[in-house]
Structure 1
Amino acid sequence: MPPNSGRVDRWLWAVRMFRTRSLAKQACVRGSVRINGSVAKPSSNVKVGDRVEVKTTPGAFKELEVTRILEKRVGPALAGDYYLDHSPLPDKAKTTTSLTPVAKRDRGSGRPTKRDRRRIDKLRGG
């Protein structure tokens, strides 16, 4: 009989949201994981029907609804059976264009001078 609840870091690792369990734990400690709207600790319990929100990149997140609790990690083909993905669709304008300009330097031009360094820092917003 499958368990009724389990640790959130272990569940995220088991459904392949993170490559290692320690990465899942670090995401919880950073505050990148929420269960039903509240920040989750790595040892927080997750139950069937809970909504788990995981920040993936700045401004993007995955919203998952738990359908079953896992004891062990499963293959990528089976991982989708353990959650429903309610994530919003990515905004095409954000994904196709870069938000920050890129500083280009000629290859072989050597180390930037102090003046060049200031320009690069200013371009990057620093």
Structure 2
Amino acid sequence: MDKLRLDKWLWAARFYKTRSLASEEITKGRVLLNQQTTKPAREVSVGDRITLRKETPAMEVQVAALSGVRGPAPVARQLYQETEASSTARAQAAEQRRLAPEPALDFDAGRPTKKDRRQLQVLRGK
């Protein structure tokens, strides 16, 4: 097997749970093959670069092998290799998320109580 449909490969590599979800994402333009938008039926071969804009930093992988069947995750991981730039960008984004302050810490008192809501209503004139 030297070529395989893009949606089938994405499904076999466990990027998407179903082939229909994979083809939907391809159609929406969230999956690029060799930096170009494509159709789900486009054939993928070993060495092609696929960009997945599923998360905030896009994941870029290079096709290492082809498989038409969906196997266990360790086997699916052998179908592709993430590029160095992509893994570095994803690690930096994860570190920034980890170091970001908790949004809920901005609120000192939390949600308003029933008493607080009544006082707000009086201030607003209701």
In 1, Cα distance between the equivalents of 2:97 and 2:28? Answer: 24
One-letter amino acid matched to 2:36: S
Aligned runs of 1:16-27 on 2, under 5 Å?
Answer: 16-27=14-25
The within-5 A match list for 1:82-97 is: 82-86=79-83, 87-89=86-88, 90=90, 91=92, 92-94=95-97, 96-97=99-100
Following the alignment from structure 1 to structure 2, what is the Cα–Cα distance between the partners of residues 95 and 39?
A: 32
How large is the Cα RMSD of the aligned pairs? 2.6
Structure 1 counterpart of 2:9: 11
Structure with the higher fraction of residues in strand conformation: 1
Partner of 1:44: 42
Bigger proportion of residues as helix: 2
Deviations 1:36-94 (A, max 9, x none): 1111211111111101111112x311111111111211110111111111123222224
Count of aligned positions: 107
Q: Report the secondary structure of 1:22's partner residue.
A: helix
Counterpart position of 1:106: 111
Aligned equivalents of 2:98 and 2:8: distance in 1?
30
Instruction: Determine whether 1:78 maps to 2:75.
Output: yes
What's the TM-score, normalizing by structure 1?
A: 0.71
86-95 or 39-48, larger mean C-alpha shift: 86-95
Match of 1:119 in 2: none
TM-score (norm. length: structure 2): 0.71
Q: Establish whether residue 69 from structure 1 lines up as the match of residue 66 from structure 2.
A: yes
Alignment gaps of 5+ in structure 1: 110-126
